[in-house]
Structure 1
Amino acid sequence: YCFCCLCFHQGSRSSLANTGFNDWIHLSSTLKSHETCSNHILSYTKWIETELRLKSGKSIDHLEQLLIQKESERWNQVLTRLMNIALYLAENNIAFRGVSDKL
C-alpha cells in the first residue's frame, strides 16, 4: 500500500491505494511510475502539510489534541501513583485491604 495515497487521495485510487501490490517482480517499475504520477504527488503534499500543521499546532483540532494529551498525562500520573502504592504495600508486607495475619 501507498500510505499517503491511501489516506489523502480523493477520487479514483490506484491499485497501491485500494488493494495493495503483490507483483514483486515488477515492483521497481511500478513504484517509479506511481511516485511520478500527479495523484501521488498531490497526496504526498497533503500528507506533509498535515504533518507540519500537527507539529506546529495549527490544525483544526489543536484544542482537542491538547485535551487528549492532558488526559493521557493525568492517567499516567494515576497509574504511577497506583504502582507506587502497590510497591509500598509489598515492601512493608501490608495488605491491600483489611488486616492479614497470614502470608
Structure 2
Amino acid sequence: MDARRLKEGDVMKYKTGFLGNKWKSYHAVLFSDSKFCWYDEKGDRKPKGSILLKDVVPYICVGLMTDRMPVKRPSVPDGYSVHHLVGIGMDPRAETVHWILFSSDSDLE
C-alpha cells in the first residue's frame, strides 16, 4: 500500500555548504509511513532529501529543547521563532542534524 500524504507546506531548512551556511526554503511533505520529504518546489516528483522519522524519534528535539542537542543550533532568521525549530539528529551523537524551521504552531503540529 502506498503511503498517503498527511501534511504538506513550506518550511525553511538549514543548509551547510562550502561557501557558507544559510536557511533555504523548501516544500515539505509528511507521509503516513513517517517519511518526511523536502522538495525544491511544490509539485516536484523527486525529493531533495528525506528522513524516515520513525527511525530517528529519540534524536528529535523541538523548540528550546534543541539547545540540549550535542551540536549548536543555528541562529533563527528574523521573523521566525526558535519555538518552531526542529532538530532531527540522524544518530546518538548528532553527527548529522537536519534543522527544519516552521513558520507557525499549526505548521509544526
TM range (shorter): under 0.3
More helix by share: 1
Q: Report which of the two structures shows the higher radius of gyration computed on alpha carbons.
A: 1
- TM-score norm. by structure 2 comes to 0.21
TM-score normalized with structure 1 length? 0.21
